[in-house]
Structure 1
Amino acid sequence: MTHADTLFRPDLLAKYSANGPRYTSYPTALQFRDNFDPADYRRAAADPGASATDLSLYFHIPFCDTVCFYCGCNKVATKNRARARPYLDRLKRELALQAACFDTSRPVSQLHWGGGTPTFLSHDEMSELMAATRRHFTLSPDASGEFSIEVDPREASAQTIVHLRTLGFNRLSLGVQDFDPLVQQAINRIQPLEMTASVMRAARATGFHSIGVDLIYGLPHQTVDSFSRTLDTILALAPDRLSVFGYAHMPQLFKMQRQMDATALPSPAVRLAILRLVVERLTSAGYVYIGMDHFALPTDELARAQQQRTLQRNFQGYSTRAECDLIGFGVSSIGKVGDVYAQNAKDLPGYGAAIDAGRLAIARGVKLTADDRLRRDIITQLMCNLELRFDEFEAAYGIRFAKTFAPELERLRGFAVDGLVSLGVGKLEVLMAGRMLVRNIAMVFDRYLGQQTIERFSRTV
């Protein structure tokens, strides 16, 4: 049996396929409360014990020149570039408001611009935002900091890439999704190969540390053969990381998805066949399967972090920096500070009104209980390091793991019978066949899941 055959088990994928969280946080955003007290956030930010940890900054730039029909992100589609100016001015004021809450001598070892399309901003506007960030916070040196940006190759010339490197960015995440022209037309994302290739060439020439590419399977008109050609092209470009997401068709939540022909979506059987192809091709090409939908070259920091058990999950997915406090800037962004999650207003008027009034734009959030912290740690270890060492939790939390989680361990016996996990003395390990179902395994430890909430999530496969 090949490595891919061990990893990809269609019988088990079909058996366990269900809706479930991606666990970019625990508790998930469904548990955030509108009556959250921002004072809890400020107290967590001012905690003297937090000064030993680094900071991570996330900036949400919501604007897009054109809208991709599959997208479920918080975005504003507009051709009017002038809309960036008032938003940028508010981001700068928010930087000052957030900086007042923290010890800004704490190094920022991670920074990320997401969207939307961050490169919707002009070169001068990007320079302005980065300069304001450096005025208020202490960014780590290039050699030790991870400063990343999501780039739409349709919005970025080679000159843009050079400019981003000059500003201090050292990692790129490129949206591609699919190279097939028919698929691109169906999702309203026309992106010829040369657009992507030129951006990657520029990134390598200017010394970016890592280049990641995002693909999506399950889009209209995709077939095994068509996606195989996309993989051929991607492997020739040789990115350091690959994220291959399963498309979640949820038109009841995302109206723009109604613009696509639902009858052209691949069947569940074809989706699984494409997924199998992805696993076979990428692992055969030398990529390490990190977990869920992420692959990385063995030399990439993501793969090294997993080997060293320092891999983490945050709202951007897998992260190499464990234990950072995350500060969110911009509309809908989420911060994680100590035992608090806090999310900004999801709409531009609400966000703008708060910042204009001189207050943080936090609209909802949650303060974790002791049980939340324990289960967050368990779920993080499963999702990132694919194992639980019971003695670590017993030492950290003063529990007897087997007694505290007896019902969960009993439920996991069925997973063990199916070869997804190994339950040993004092240890639980996710086996190769369980890696693609790690969300299902983590769900066993989620005390908030119920039938009403679970339908709000995407399928685990």
Structure 2
Amino acid sequence: MNTAPSFPSADSLFRPDLLAKYSANGPRYTSYPTALQFRDDFSADDYRRAAADKGASETGLSLYFHIPFCDTVCFYCGCNKVVTKNRARSAPYLERLKREIALQGALFDTARPVSQLHWGGGTPTFLSHDEMSELMATTREHFLLRSDAEGEFSIEVDPREAPPKTIVHLRNLGFNRLSLGVQDFDPVVQRSINRIQPLEMTASVIRAARATGFHSIGVDLIYGLPYQTVSSFSRTLDTMLELAPDRLSVFGYAHMPQLFKMQRQMDPSTLPPPAERLAILQRVVERLTEAGYVYIGMDHFALPTDELARAQAQRTLHRNFQGYSTRAECDLIGFGASSIGKVGDVYAQNAKDLTGYASAIDTGELAITRGVRLSADDRLRRDVITQLMCNLELRFDEFEAAYGIRFQDTFAPELERLRTFEDDGLVKIDARRLDVQVAGRMLVRNIAMVFDRYLGQQAMQRFSRTV
């Protein structure tokens, strides 16, 4: 008997009429509440108190390091970054990172294992090989990293900054997962976004990663960029499928020049119109699902053998500030300018600019400048939204047992609002559960937004489009 799991087809996932109807601005829910709710009166002392409460916790730790430097600017980028050709700028930043590691390490039980580690940016491979070695060595001095087989140690890589010898070096340092930025292989699109990246650069990184035994290789693409068409992006997808990464993230470009000045370098008239953009997304879903990738949710696809797909099947998938994660119970410690951590029921963010970050670290203080402590209602809604985003279902009895509520009473207004979604076949609701239907998977952000009590108070234009 064939026991292989069945996965949704492109036709059942992609409903243009519903995607057009529900398209709106909304959070990606890497946290709840979102960063817009962080308060400036939250201090390093607030964070220390949270760390003291959880310092000896039996749960594991996740470490995030923000390396903000980039050699060149990509016009579409909305990340917190410092564009510079001066490689010497990384040395003082690295020294402060090492001091911050010591400060943070002193707050937590040294026996707590690190199950997840991630270097993001910016461009982490802006650092020299020696600097990378120093940073990882200091990390190991103050934290206990799990074994290669047990831990998820990942790094974002720009193939323009990572020749094969760098990939070998990263593997020797202990990294076992790579995330590669590509965006699009089309030369016209690459010129328009100021990211010239020949195919061979990307292919050589993937070959080196496979040869050195990386556990998983992920690639980022973006649709909705200047000059993209269904035909041109189909060629990018075909090329990418030949490279066969384990995971693919295909993000919709968010054009917000009022927030990100470099986006003003692109002519908005060259962006694909809404109908073309939606058709590109349809082609993405068709090609990747036909090729055997599982649609995880939002922008993410993974091979059935990948840990993300397995975690979703086992209801252990989670979301944090790096997106979908397989490590659900970890406290997250953020290092570097703008990084965000989560310890217990507290979110905390470091100073966003290098000057503010340096000023705090140079005085021997944590660089935390804002954050929030979750209320009981925040914790409940965070759990609801996480379950929707990751497991595509809500089992009411689980929330009732954990929070001492009657789900249908507590969320009566939300369930009533979801009746329209149910009428459109996006969700199914009965007395004991809510299930996101196949047609609702691509609109799971919209479904989750119904449970967000802050949205009416927020400037929605600060969020990207849900489709």
TM-score for the superposition, normalised by structure 2:
0.98
Alignment check: 8 A CA contact 1:46 1:103 kept: no
Return the letter of the residue paired with 1:446. D
Deviation beyond 3 Å, 4+ runs, structure 1:
none
Look up the match of 1:78. Answer: 84
User: Which shifted more, 445-454 or 205-214?
Assistant: 445-454
Look up the match of 1:98. Answer: 104
Q: Secondary structure at the match of 2:27?
A: coil
Q: Secondary structure at the match of 1:91?
A: helix
- Deviations for 1:230-255, whole angstroms, at most 9, x for unmatched residues? 00000000000000000000000000
Q: Secondary structure at the match of 2:455?
A: coil
Deviation at 1:183, TM superposition (A): 0.1
Residue 349 (1) aligns with residue 342 (2) = no
Q: Mapping of 1:9-24 within 5 angstroms?
A: 9-24=15-30
Q: Secondary structure at the match of 2:389?
A: helix
- Deviations for 1:143-188, whole angstroms, at most 9, x for unmatched residues? 0000000000000010000000000000000000000000000000
Deviation at 1:104, TM superposition (A): 2.0
**Which of 301, 312, 315 is equivalent to 1:309?**
315
Q: Distance in 2 between matches of 1:215 and 1:245?
A: 6
Alignment check: 8 A CA contact 2:79 2:121 kept: yes
- Deviations for 1:316-375, whole angstroms, at most 9, x for unmatched residues? 110110010000000000000000000000000000000001000001000000000000
Alignment check: 8 A CA contact 1:287 1:296 kept: yes
Q: Mapping of 1:301-340 within 5 angstroms?
A: 301-340=307-346
Q: Mapping of 1:1-16 within 5 angstroms?
A: 3-16=9-22
Quickly say closer, same or farther: Cα 1:49–1:101, change in 2 above 3 A.
closer
Return the letter of the residue paired with 1:32. F
Among all aligned residue pairs of Structure 1 and Structure 2, give the percentage whose two residues are the same amino acid: 84
Look up the match of 1:176. Answer: 182
Return the letter of the residue paired with 1:335. G
Q: Distance in 2 between matches of 1:334 and 1:261?
A: 33
Q: Distance in 2 between matches of 1:72 and 1:100?
A: 33
Residue 262 (1) aligns with residue 268 (2) = yes
Return the letter of the residue paired with 1:239. P
CA RMSD of aligned residues (A): 0.9
Alignment check: 8 A CA contact 1:50 1:338 kept: no
Q: Mapping of 1:15-414 within 5 angstroms?
A: 15-47=21-53, 51-414=57-420
Alignment check: 8 A CA contact 2:55 2:107 kept: no
Alignment check: 8 A CA contact 2:55 2:109 kept: no
Look up the match of 2:3. Answer: none
Deviation at 1:451, TM superposition (A): 6.2
Q: Distance in 2 between matches of 1:253 and 1:338?
A: 31
Q: Distance in 1 between matches of 2:260 and 2:108?
A: 36
User: Which shifted more, 220-229 or 50-59?
Assistant: 50-59
The gaps in structure 2 that reach 5 residues or longer are 1-7
Q: Secondary structure at the match of 1:24?
A: coil
The gaps in structure 1 that reach 5 residues or longer are none
Deviation at 1:43, TM superposition (A): 1.8
Deviation at 1:40, TM superposition (A): 2.4
The count of aligned residue pairs is 460
Q: Secondary structure at the match of 1:455?
A: helix
Q: Distance in 2 between matches of 1:390 and 1:407?
A: 15
Q: Distance in 1 between matches of 2:234 and 2:354?
A: 40
Q: Distance in 1 between matches of 2:360 and 2:220?
A: 34
Q: Secondary structure at the match of 1:47?
A: helix
Quickly say closer, same or farther: Cα 1:180–1:54, change in 2 above 3 A.
same
Deviation at 1:45, TM superposition (A): 1.3
Return the letter of the residue paired with 1:186. S
Q: Secondary structure at the match of 2:284?
A: helix
Residue 439 (1) aligns with residue 455 (2) = no
Deviation at 1:456, TM superposition (A): 1.3
Q: Distance in 1 between matches of 2:300 and 2:110?
A: 33
Look up the match of 2:4. Answer: none
Q: Distance in 2 between matches of 1:18 and 1:440?
A: 8
Return the letter of the residue paired with 1:176. V
Return the letter of the residue paired with 1:419. G
Q: Distance in 2 between matches of 1:389 and 1:53?
A: 24
Return the letter of the residue paired with 2:134. E
Q: Distance in 2 between matches of 1:447 and 1:102?
A: 33
Q: Distance in 2 between matches of 1:38 and 1:347?
A: 17
Alignment check: 8 A CA contact 1:217 1:245 kept: yes
Quickly say closer, same or farther: Cα 1:16–1:264, change in 2 above 3 A.
same
Return the letter of the residue paired with 1:433. A
Alignment check: 8 A CA contact 2:105 2:142 kept: yes
Alignment check: 8 A CA contact 1:440 1:460 kept: yes
Q: Secondary structure at the match of 1:96?
A: helix
Alignment check: 8 A CA contact 2:77 2:263 kept: yes
